[in-house]
Amino acid sequence: MANVVIYSTPSCVYCRLAKQFFAENNVKYTEYNVADDYDRAEEMIKKSGQQGVPVIDINGKIIVGFDKPAIKAALGI
pLDDT tens digit sequence for 2-43: 899 999 999 999 999 999 999 999 999 999 999 999 999 999
How many CA atoms lie less than 13 Å away from 30 in the CB half-sphere? 9
Domains and CATH numbers, the chain: 4-75 (3.40.30.10)
Neighbours of 6 (CB within 10 A): 24
Q: Using pLDDT thresholds of 50, 70 and 90, give the confidence band for residue 1.
A: confident
The helix/strand/coil state of 6 is strand
Name the DSSP class of 26.
T
| Residue 10 near residue 33 (C-beta atoms within 8 A) | yes
* pLDDT at residue 16, rounded to an integer: 97
Could you give the CA distance from residue 63 to residue 54 in angstroms, rounded to a whole number?
Answer: 8
